[in-house]
């Protein structure tokens, strides 16, 4: 009880945190992401799933950063230290945001930037700056401040983030499945691992929750990885055969602007995620790089 009272006394409003280099980075990230969001929203490409996903990234990342900023400004991270590793969480958020913003810059520039599309180049420039700022935060946390992650900012947790991220790319690229049983089954196979990954991440971040579970989360993760590998092996066979059999690339398919190319992205990302899950499973089985298995 005395320890809790002492911790509560330290949780006070500290606006000076905004004046630090970390606070300045956070403010810059929030402002740039919101500016990029507004500029892209004005463009109005609402019928394209990649455009919608880009808007989601430029809204989601600054919201996460704002959450971290408010928690640290009121020193509530001292209280959260009882149930989670705050440094691990914040560094993991920065790494995830850097991954999302840099990738969405590449996607946006690929689909919307052209020689005469000056406005799209402006948006792409702001998108690149967002990714650079989040990358700078990762460099500061991991290399300058020497923060070591316990899960999310370490390899096991970030590997799960990579798997979820690739799944998102698959979802925004997945089209033409209405009334096609094979593609619907493939979509279900993508959804099942994607829904479980956030639960595994949250359970490992929240130490109190992890200790209260009636089962071993490491063993559950190992079983989950086996199921995920099996599901992705099935889709890695079924999807390309169904889509590309007797369906060569059209001669009038410019870059990534035709359905065939987008379907190829789904197939390619399926193999990428399959490799990720296999590596995750092997590392977990052999307990390499902190991938623990009970």
Q: pLDDT tens-digit profile of 244-285?
A: 888 888 877 765 568 888 889 999 999 999 999 999 999 998
Dist CA 254 CA 256 (whole Å): 6
pLDDT of residue 4: 45
Inform me whether the pLDDT recorded for 237 exceeds 70.
yes
pLDDT of residue 14: 63
Average pLDDT over residues 225-229: 96
Inform me whether the pLDDT recorded for 116 exceeds 90.
no
3-state SS class at 209: helix
Q: pLDDT tens-digit profile of 52-70?
A: 899 999 999 999 999 999 8
Dist CA 104 CA 112 (whole Å): 12
Tell me the whole-structure pTM to 2 decimals: 0.88
Average pLDDT, the chain: 86
Dist CA 23 CA 44 (whole Å): 32
The answer to which of 3-12, 112-121, 232-241 has the lowest mean pLDDT is 3-12
Percent of the chain with pLDDT over 90: 50
CA-to-CA separations, 179 to 152, 183, 184, 241, 271, in angstroms, rounded: 39, 9, 8, 17, 25
Q: Are 270 and 170 in contact (CB under 8 A)?
A: yes
Token pair recorded at residue 284: 């977990």
Confidence of residue 218 (pLDDT cuts 50, 70, 90): confident
Percent of the chain with pLDDT over 70: 89
Confidence of residue 1 (pLDDT cuts 50, 70, 90): low
């Amino acid at each position: 009880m005395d320890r809790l009272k002492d911790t509560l006394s330290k949780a006070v409003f500290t606006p000076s945190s905004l004046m630090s280099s970390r606070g300045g980075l956070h403010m810059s990230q929030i402002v740039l992401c919101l500016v990029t969001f507004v500029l892209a929203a004005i463009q109005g490409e609402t019928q394209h799933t990649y455009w919608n996903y880009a808007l989601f990234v430029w809204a989601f990342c600054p919201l996460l950063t704002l959450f971290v900023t408010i928690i640290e400004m009121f020193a509530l991270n001292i209280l959260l230290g009882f149930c989670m590793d705050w440094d691990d969480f914040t560094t993991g958020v920065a790494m995830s945001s850097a991954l999302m913003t840099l990738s969405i810059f590449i996607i946006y520039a690929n689909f919307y930037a052209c020689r005469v599309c000056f406005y799209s180049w402006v948006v792409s420039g702001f998108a690149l700056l967002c990714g650079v700022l989040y990358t700078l935060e990762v460099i500061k946390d991991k290399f300058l401040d020497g923060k070591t992650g316990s899960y999310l900012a370490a390899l096991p947790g970030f590997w799960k983030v990579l798997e979820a991220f690739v799944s998102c790319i698959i979802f925004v690229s997945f089209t033409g499945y209405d009334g096609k049983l094979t593609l619907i089954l493939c979509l279900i196979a993508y959804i099942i691992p994607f829904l479980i990954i956030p639960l595994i991440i949250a359970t490992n971040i929240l130490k109190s929750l992890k200790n209260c579970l009636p089962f071993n989360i490491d063993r559950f993760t190992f079983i989950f990885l086996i199921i995920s590998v099996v599901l992705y092996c099935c889709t890695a066979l079924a999807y390309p055969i169904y889509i590309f059999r007797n369906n060569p690339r059209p001669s009038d398919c410019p870059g990534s602007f035709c359905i065939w190319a987008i379907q190829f992205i789904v197939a390619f990302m399926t193999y990428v995620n399959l490799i990720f899950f296999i590596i995750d499973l092997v590392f977990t089985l052999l307990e390499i790089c902190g991938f623990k298995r009970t």
